[in-house]
Amino acid sequence: MTQSQVTTSKDTSPAHRADWIEAIAFDADGLVPAIAQDAESGRVLMFAWMNREAVEKTVKLGEAVYFSRSRQKLWHKGEQSGHTQTLREIRLDCDGDVLLLSIEQRGGIACHTGRESCFYRRLEGGRWQVTDEVKKSPGAIYGDR
């Protein structure tokens, strides 16, 4: 993992803004998949979607902002849990239709189940075996609602 900071543009003119965001090929729903990877360990922590506004806010804030398909609105990761994701760098794939975020995961918990990574199940012997412990219970993270 490189240690370089994401350079957020100080020039907010539409023409300049367009330079990089226009290279992103959003799908028919206006979304692009985003993979969040821990900047230090390299572990893939989660996968979510972004719309154009989410991408812009992510780069501007320097924290991951996704688009919740279930709630159909922007979702500033950690807004409830405190488990924000500080953006270290953002990459675009060859087809321009997938983003890869290198992030610092606050609290060391990305998953709503209270685990470090959402990918806590591994296929072993024809079963999905849970490999990760719950670091903090969802009740403790979100409050019992």
Residues near a second copy (CB under 8 A)? 2, 4, 6-7, 9, 11, 16-17, 19-20, 23, 33, 35, 37, 41-44, 46-47, 59, 89-95, 98, 100, 111-113, 115, 118-128, 131
CB-wise, 76 or 112, nearer to a second copy?
112
- Residue 42 backbone class (left: φ over 0; alpha: ψ -120 to 50; beta: rest): left
Cβ-based neighbour number of residue 105 at 10 Å: 25
Query: Closest distance between a second copy and the C-beta of residue 95, in Å?
Result: 8
CB of 98 to a second copy, least distance (A): 4
Burial (CB count within 10 angstroms: exposed 0-12, middle 13-18, buried 19+), residue 136: middle
Q: In whole angstroms, what is the distance from residue 37 CA to residue 43 CA?
A: 6
Nearer to a second copy, 74 or 118 (CB): 118
Q: Assign residue 17 a region: left if phi > 0, alpha if psi is -120 to 50, beta otherwise? A: alpha
Residue closer to a second copy by CB (options 124, 144) is 124
Nearest residue (CB) to a second copy, 42 versus 143: 42
User: Of 130, 112, 99, which is closest to residue 31 (Cα–Cα)?
Assistant: 99
CB of 145 to a second copy, least distance (A): 18
